[in-house]
Structure 1
Amino acid sequence: MMEVKTIDKPDERRDFPRGHLEALHLSGLDFAVATFEPGWRWAESIRPLAGTDSCEVRHNGFMVQGRMHIRMDDGGEFEVGPGDVFVTPPGHDAWVVGDEPVIMYDFAGVMATEYARTQG
């Protein structure tokens, strides 16, 4: 079955401190557009919702705008910027670098279904 949706009309929106996520749910794919404002950091904005010490979501991402620094629990670090395609395994913290908002597309599916939901 063929499906087409537009990011201009997301199926749902999740707001969290200094950012939000808009998700599209298709057969076999959950797609997310995440926006993070300057000053956003996973440990401060999402940790209280996730209830974990670090982000346990795998990200298959494409960075549209802005810069983000990612630090893995094992000490590895990298930075992604516009045009970068990246994979980040579970077990990391991340934060916006600079004064420009980050816009990121996430194709993992898990971000659109679980990210920034209150765990209970």
Structure 2
Amino acid sequence: MIDVILRRFEEPDEVRELELGRFEVVRIGGLTIGRATYQPGWKWSEHVPSEEPLCTVEHVGLVLRGSATAAFPDGRVVELRPGDLFHIPPEPHDSWVVGDEPYVSLHFLGADRYATDGHRGVT
């Protein structure tokens, strides 16, 4: 008999509360998947406590709702919009919500280290 496992973010394994946001973690099938929800005004460098000034976690994800940026020290700023699949390399970057709608994204890579002690991230 094959076991099928169903999970929902309404019952996460872990919730990482952030100022103006939260990051919910579900572990399933050997993967750690995260759901980021950030309110308007949220900015990684201001609202995620860390010893590092910028996030260095690699991210692969999907934007579900709202818009946010990935901003790099060299001046590159990329806007992430609903439906975008994204890969953000493990280069230092900041991020913030764009507009007045909450931003929601799924994270398929990096969720295990994002917004944990010693690391912080966005997207």
TM-score under structure 2 length normalisation: 0.86
* Cα-Cα RMSD: 1.7
Q: Deviations over 1:63-91 (max 9, x none)?
A: 00000011123322210111111101121
| Long gaps (5+) in structure 2 | none
Alignment-derived partner of residue 106 in structure 1: 107
Whether the 8 Å CA contact 1:14–1:116 is kept in 2: the answer is yes
What's the offset of the Cα at 1:28? 2.3
1:97 Cα deviation after fit:
0.4
1:89 corresponds in structure 2 to 89
Q: Identify if the C-alpha distance between structure 1 residues 74 and 2 changes in structure 2 by more than 3 Å, giving closer, same or farther.
A: farther
User: Which segments of 5 or more consecutive residues in structure 1 lack a partner in the other structure?
Assistant: none
1:73 matched to 2:73? The reply is: yes
Q: Does 1:17 align with 2:22?
A: no
The 2-side partners of 1:118 and 1:24 are apart by 18
Of 67-76 and 85-94, the range deviating more from structure 2: 67-76
The total of aligned residue pairs comes to 116
Amino acid corresponding to residue 87 of structure 2 in structure 1: V
Higher helix proportion, which one? Answer: 1
Tell me how far apart the structure 2 counterparts of residues 38 and 45 of structure 1 sit (CA, whole Å). 12
> Which range is displaced more, 73-82 or 88-97?
73-82
Letter in 1 for 2:108: F
Q: Give TM-score scaled by structure 1 length.
A: 0.88
